[in-house]
Amino acid sequence: MERPGYLKGVRLPRLERALASRQQSLRELIVRQREAVEPDYPASEPAGDEADQAQDRERKLIGGDLLDLYLAELGEVAAARERIATGTYGLCADCGEPISARRLEAQPTARCCLACQARRERFSAIAPQIR
């Protein structure tokens, strides 16, 4: 498949820079989040009373969830950069049609055009009801 023409000009380099910048930011966030969730020092005894300990557990759970989100987004950025390298960036993974430039500028990791993404979201909303 050939890359959509609208990406051959100024837009593709700008999108590549945006993806590279986001990748770097995510890597830094992941390092900081890991340090927050997994401190270097071992806790010999839980500190504080039960409320403090519960709050600490909750903070670690939320921190772990944030870490998972950052790692997932990092994977999406890496996948988008791979699509750029293979020449499939900007083409919908479902229908093969070009993804609009406005969509890519708003969401550089987008895999699908708006119509296919809407279809995916409708399906995922009704899929749990099918079981």
Token couple for 16: 């590549």
- 98-111: pLDDT as tens digits: 999 999 999 999 99
Between CA 121 and CA 127 the distance in angstroms is 10
Between CA 123 and CA 121 the distance in angstroms is 5
Q: Which of 52-56, 72-76, 124-128 has the highest mean pLDDT?
A: 72-76
Domains of the chain in sequence order: 5-130 (1.20.120.910)
Largest interatomic CA distance in the chain: 62
List of residues 6+ apart from 53 with CB closer than 8 A: 46, 47
- Residue pair 105/10 in contact by the 8 Å Cβ criterion: no
- pLDDT of 114 > 90? The answer is yes
Give the angle 65-66-67 at the CA atoms, nearest 5°.
90
pLDDT value for 64 = 80
Output the pTM of the full model.
0.75
